[in-house]
Amino acid sequence: MDFDLLGKVKRTRLYYTQSLMPILEAIINSIHATLYSEINNGIIEIEIERDNSTAILDLGLEDHRPIKSFTITDNGVGFNDINYKSFETAESTHKLDLGGKGVGRFLWLKAFKNVSVDSSYRHNGSFKRRTFDFKLVEKGVINHHVAILETPNRKTIIKLQEFYPDYQKTCPSTIEELTDKIMQHCLSYLIKENCPLIILSDPNNHKKITINDIYNNSSFNI
pLDDT tens column, 3-51: 678 888 889 999 999 999 999 999 999 999 998 887 889 999 999 999 9
> For residue 143, what is the enclosing H or E element?
strand 141-149
pLDDT of residue 78: 94
Please name the CATH architecture into which domain 5-54+65-221 falls.
2-Layer Sandwich (3.30)
Residue 130: exposure state from Cβ atoms within 10 A (0-12, 13-18, ≥19): buried
Is pLDDT above 50 for 80? yes
Q: To the nearest whole number, what is the mean pLDDT of the chain?
A: 89
pLDDT in tens, 88-123: 876 544 544 444 455 788 999 999 999 999 999 999
| C-alpha torsion angle, residues 134, 100, 26, 140 (rounded to 10) | 10
- Mean pLDDT of the 169-184 span: 96
Sketch the domain layout of the chain as residue ranges: 5-54+65-221
**How does residue 193 score in pLDDT terms, banded at 50, 70 and 90?**
confident
pLDDT of residue 57: 66
pLDDT of residue 99: 47
- Closest residue by Cα to residue 211 from 188, 163, 178: 178
